[in-house]
Chain A
Amino acid sequence: EVQLVESGGGLVQPGRSLKLSCLASGFTFSNYGMNWIRQAPGKGLEWVASISSSSSYIYYADTVKGRFTISRDNAKNTLYLQMTSLRSEDTALYYCARGIRMVDAWGQGASVTVSS
């Protein structure tokens, strides 16, 4: 069974940093591109970033470019999102999702709240 388990969320002050992790299991992680997608409270879905299976290709939404870094460790079956210079508008549930063109599995999400 495909499982994606996010962790690392929490309450953080504006301007500070936070790093999310997504531990994958039930499939060969190194064969799949991965994404971070977020959902602000009561709002719709917003794509954040994608990374190819070997980290050769990385894409970011303009809203996070220069502040967030997506990365992965295929040996640890783990996807990361390093978030810096956090803003109140980054408050959201952050999902990791498998596949790039074909997004076919989602984690349960990690909650990030940016507030003083």
Chain B
Amino acid sequence: DVVMTQTPPSLSVAIGQSVSISCKSSQSLVYSDGKTYLHWLLQSPGRSPKRLIYQVSNLGSGVPDRFSGTGSQKDFTLKISRVEAEDLGVYYCAQTTHFPFTFGSGTKLEIK
């Protein structure tokens, strides 16, 4: 199984600051079609997960451009610029290249 190592486990940030979350996979996430199925999700408190970024760097529908994703092969990063109060919650990376699909352990973002 692909192990997704996500760091840090938690972050405390002031409104307006920027943060980055790292996600490293134990295998390359490049699929046979040449695409990389690495995604970022946000689970706001008491809510279902919501897709933020798909295929490394593509913004999901309605997601503000303060969110950005970069990376390739086995090393990926989510950056949030100018954090807002609504950004609090748990962020997960997820890979859907290889079965079984696997998730990072999550990064809890708190607002100072």
Contacts and interface: CB of A to CB of B under 8 A. Distances in A.
Given A45-B103, A102-B54, A102-B96, A108 B48 contact: yes
A59 B102 CA distance: 13
Interface string B42-76: 00000011110011000011000000000000000
A101 B49 contact: no
Interface residues of B, number: 25
A90 B50 CA distance: 23
A11 interface: no
The size bracket of the interface on A is 20 to 34
Interface of B: 31, 35, 37, 39, 41, 48-51, 54-55, 60-61, 92, 94, 96-97, 99-106
A106 B49 contact: yes
6 contacts: A44-B92, A44-B103, A59-B99, A61-B100, A102-B37, A104-B61
Q: What does DSSP make chain B's interface, helix, strand, loop or mixed?
A: loop
A107 interface: yes
A95 B103 contact: no
Nearest to A99: B96
A101 B31 contact: yes
The 8 A-B residue pairs whose C-beta atoms are closest, nearest first, are A47-B101, A106-B48, A45-B103, A59-B99, A101-B96, A101-B37, A61-B100, A44-B106
